[in-house]
Chain A
Amino acid sequence: MGILFIIILVCLLAIPIGIYNKLIGLRQRVKNAWAQIDVQLKRRHDLIPNLVEVAKGYMTHERETLEKVIQARNMAQSAQGVKGKGEAENFLSGTLKSLFAVVESYPNLKADSQMLSLQEELTTTENKISFARQHYNDENMRFNTQIEVFPSNIIAGTFNFTKGEFFEIEDQSQKEAPKVQF
């Protein structure tokens, strides 16, 4: 009788432990996915000063546009939290778009080999950001779902698992991002 009781107790304990461990695993995956976005964002922020430097050599009138890009980049660099970063990146993308619109009117700058390779680098980084975001949001959704469904919501509530935020960037698919014709 005593043995049976112990077995039942162990079984009852094993279920919450399993759920807890699963939640921890999912949260780690979300963190890892976020780290991947961070790597790509950093790469983007590193590329922009070079881009501005090259553009400066050709552009004579559009100082303002260039300054705005640098400003937006600095803001994005110091932004905190998922939501803040998302907003700052959106703003940066907007200023970059206007920069590339201006570049169109400088044929020499457009054909500059350094500019072309920087543009390719920026394109690939932007694509990577959007894929990393997609991956992060997928992982996040899985984590959030697990927190909300029964019975793991009880465990999540007890141990204070909070839902992760989604990383939202204006829906600009790769097609709209600045793109090199090749």
Chain B
Amino acid sequence: MSFSFIDIEERKTKQIFFLFIFLVLFYFFSAWILTIVARGMVLLRIKKAVSTVQLFTLSPKVLFYIFSISLVVGMFHWFYSTHANLPRIIKTLKAQNIDKEDKYHKILRNVIDEVSVATGGRQIGCVVIPVYGMNAFSIADFSGNSVIGVTEGLLSRLTRAQLEAVIAHEAAHIVTQDTLIKTVAVSLFSIYGSIRYALAKGMRGAGRGSRGGAIIYMAVLYGVASALYSVSKLIGMFISRQCEYRADAVATRLVRDPLSLAQALRRISIGWRAGGMGYDSLESLFIINPNFSKLDEEEGALSNMFSTHPPVMRRIGTLLDMGHSDFSALKKNEGTKRKRYTDIRVAKVREPKWFVADGGKWSGPFPIHEMLTMGTLRFDSFIRPEGTDKTMLLSDDKNLVDKLKQKAPTGTNTCPRCAQSLSKVLYEGVPTLQCTICHGMFVSDDKMARIVTREEQGFPQEVIRKAKLIQEAGKKLHASSVRMKHELLCPKCGEVMVRHFYTFAYHVEVDTCSRCHATWFDVDELEIVQYMVENARNSNNLT
């Protein structure tokens, strides 16, 4: 097991060169076969008797032309797929940049920086895939940029030591240059996979419509793409399973914690590994194959050649040997998160109230949302702010007039119900906005996936009771009985919000902005949704 940089450098160049030769040869043979078939068809039509030798031989001149063309095509393909491939892969994986205010993302950044110190100071970027499954990957390009990505599920459920071990494994791939080779190989061959995926999607779309002709063309194309896709399976030939063992070993050398890595591998392998999301051809980038494959769990010449990941049990066994422990230690202190209810409600701000002179009498005090529903209030009504003796005309209190008109300028983040400014709170480590008066929560679209993935927050009895009531009521509900309703304005962009059920499985009424897709949850509603999602997940045993 060599870890000298010169060895690695040499091996890398050799492997990348092989990849290029393979690509050119692949195009060469495909073009050869195509030429023979095409020529054969023409020959058979013109002459009646052609000898088999004549059918299958091509003159050296023609072969040279074919070779030149495949060289050009191969080079084109090579430069196209290795140029700016990192953003493309990140997009395919639907990964996002980290949110600097998010508690978990901050920890991820810290852990990556720590491991980067252990490698001697290599800069590594990071992204997060917002899904509940657990997995991690790394990518790198020729200019020395490298990125480590993890799923939101991994981030929320592994302990810090386990996360560090997983990151160290990925960093090990990066410093030993496995990542670069894998990324190049994957970028070269994933084209076919994504074409096939797009066609399959298109065919389903066309099937619903009435364009019959299009389906036939697409089916033919799909067949071709599938054939090419099986070529992409050959990728396994270039990615040695040994890489994974070695990365495990280097990770141990970096953070000296083989037990945590073994625990992490076990926990990742037993649950949903974030597979089936349309990135099958990228599976070799991940620490554990996102899709379960029987070939991976076998040993032998065939699986050694074509499989990209070694058997998980053997990896765990090797790591446990390194840590001088056995399988009994694996489940000990594995770290199941303790759920704890923390009250995140911001301290209530004393709501401003006003006395209103109504028919010669002072009545009140009233908060803004009550004044809004008062039929008798006019611009020339006399008002008096609570706690003062200053009587004035309503029209003189510009602040109040604006609030009554709900004329809060857009982008000011004011509560759509109370017209008060929202303040920032961390809910499940995610920065969200909360009203200081009604405790409603405003959550932008990209943050919702993070909130439902995390399970740190416990729930008070009241939330559980409400959730059960809603679940019961939901059983009697028909889709036809639901009416669209608009009532609130989006605190961010001022657009109309549409009232709807969170989903048709979770009948919590929420309001979503029709432009920015951010959602307004009244008090407790976010907790209720989260409780329902978690409950469904646990009863389906999806952990």
CB of A134 within 8 A of CB of B107, answer: no
Q: Known contacts A124-B111, A128-B113, A173-B256; is A182 also within 8 Å of B160 by CB?
A: yes
Cα-based distance from A123 to B159 in the complex (angstroms): 14
Interface segment out of the listed B115-123, B237-245, B272-280, B396-404: B115-123
| Option from B104, B113, B121 in Cβ contact (under 8 Å) with A124 | B113
Q: Does A132 contact B (CB under 8 A)?
A: yes
CB of B117 within 8 A of CB of A135, answer: yes
CB of A131 within 8 A of CB of B115, answer: yes
Residues of A within 8 A of B106 (CB): 117, 120
Q: Known contacts A113-B426, A128-B114, A174-B161; is A182 also within 8 Å of B120 by CB?
A: no
User: Shortest distance in angstroms between A182's beta carbon and chain B's nearest beta carbon?
Assistant: 6
Q: Does A111 contact B (CB under 8 A)?
A: yes
CB of A120 within 8 A of CB of B164, answer: no
Cα-based distance from A174 to B118 in the complex (angstroms): 13
Encoded as 1 (CB less than 8 Å from any A CB) or 0, chain B from 102 to 134 comes to 011011001101110111110000000000000
Q: Does B13 contact A (CB under 8 A)?
A: no
Q: Does B68 contact A (CB under 8 A)?
A: no
CB of B118 within 8 A of CB of A131, answer: yes
| Option from B164, B256, B342 in Cβ contact (under 8 Å) with A111 | B342
Residues of A within 8 A of B255 (CB): 131, 174
Residues of B within 8 A of A120 (CB): 106-107, 110
Q: Known contacts A113-B426, A120-B107, A124-B113; is A179 also within 8 Å of B118 by CB?
A: no
Q: Known contacts A120-B107, A128-B113, A179-B160; is A134 also within 8 Å of B118 by CB?
A: yes
A residues 149-182 in Cβ contact with B at 8 Å: 173-175, 179-182
Q: Does A88 contact B (CB under 8 A)?
A: no
Cα-based distance from A121 to B107 in the complex (angstroms): 9
Cα-based distance from A138 to B231 in the complex (angstroms): 44
Encoded as 1 (CB less than 8 Å from any B CB) or 0, chain A from 108 to 152 comes to 000101000100110110011001101100000000000000000
CB of A174 within 8 A of CB of B164, answer: yes
Residues of B within 8 A of A135 (CB): 117-120
User: Shortest distance in angstroms between B124's beta carbon and chain A's nearest beta carbon?
Assistant: 14
Encoded as 1 (CB less than 8 Å from any A CB) or 0, chain B from 423 to 453 comes to 0001000000000000000000000000000
CB of B160 within 8 A of CB of A40, answer: no
Interface size class of A (residues with CB under 8 A): 20 to 34
CB of A182 within 8 A of CB of B107, answer: yes
Q: Known contacts A36-B121, A111-B342; is A175 also within 8 Å of B161 by CB?
A: yes
User: Shortest distance in angstroms between A142's beta carbon and chain B's nearest beta carbon?
Assistant: 11
Encoded as 1 (CB less than 8 Å from any B CB) or 0, chain A from 15 to 48 comes to 0000000000000000001001000100000000
Interface size class of B (residues with CB under 8 A): 20 to 34
Residues of B within 8 A of A180 (CB): 160
Q: Known contacts A33-B120, A124-B111; is A182 also within 8 Å of B342 by CB?
A: no
| Option from B103, B117, B161, B426 in Cβ contact (under 8 Å) with A131 | B117
CB of B114 within 8 A of CB of A127, answer: yes
Residues of B within 8 A of A174 (CB): 161, 164, 255, 257
Cα-based distance from A120 to B109 in the complex (angstroms): 12
CB of A131 within 8 A of CB of B160, answer: no
Q: Known contacts A33-B120, A36-B121, A135-B120; is A182 also within 8 Å of B104 by CB?
A: yes
CB of B256 within 8 A of CB of A124, answer: no
CB of A182 within 8 A of CB of B111, answer: no
Cα-based distance from A134 to B107 in the complex (angstroms): 22
User: Shortest distance in angstroms between B169's beta carbon and chain A's nearest beta carbon?
Assistant: 15
Residues of B within 8 A of A131 (CB): 114-115, 117-118, 254-255
CB of A128 within 8 A of CB of B160, answer: no
User: Shortest distance in angstroms between B309's beta carbon and chain A's nearest beta carbon?
Assistant: 27
CB of B107 within 8 A of CB of A132, answer: no
CB of A128 within 8 A of CB of B103, answer: no
User: Shortest distance in angstroms between A146's beta carbon and chain B's nearest beta carbon?
Assistant: 14
Q: Known contacts A113-B426, A173-B256, A179-B160; is A40 also within 8 Å of B110 by CB?
A: no
CB of A124 within 8 A of CB of B120, answer: no
Cα-based distance from A173 to B121 in the complex (angstroms): 20
Closest B residue, CB atoms, query A136 = B120
Residues of A within 8 A of B426 (CB): 113
Chain A interface residues (CB < 8 Å from chain B): 33, 36, 40, 111, 113, 117, 120-121, 123-124, 127-128, 131-132, 134-135, 173-175, 179-182
List of 3 A-B pairs having minimum Cβ-Cβ separation, nearest first: A131-B118, A124-B110, A131-B117
A/B interface sample: 26 pairs, CB < 8 A:
A36-B117, A36-B121, A111-B342, A113-B426, A120-B106, A120-B110, A123-B110, A124-B110, A124-B114, A127-B164, A128-B113, A131-B115, A131-B117, A131-B118, A131-B254, A132-B118, A135-B117, A135-B118, A135-B119, A173-B256, A173-B257, A174-B161, A174-B255, A179-B160, A182-B103, A182-B456
Chain B interface residues (CB < 8 Å from chain A): 103-104, 106-107, 110-111, 113-115, 117-121, 160-161, 164, 254-257, 338, 342, 426, 456
List 18 additional A-B contacts (Cβ < 8 Å) besides A128-B117, A131-B254, A182-B456: A33-B120, A40-B117, A121-B110, A124-B110, A124-B111, A127-B114, A128-B114, A131-B115, A131-B118, A132-B118, A173-B257, A174-B255, A174-B257, A175-B161, A181-B338, A182-B103, A182-B104, A182-B160
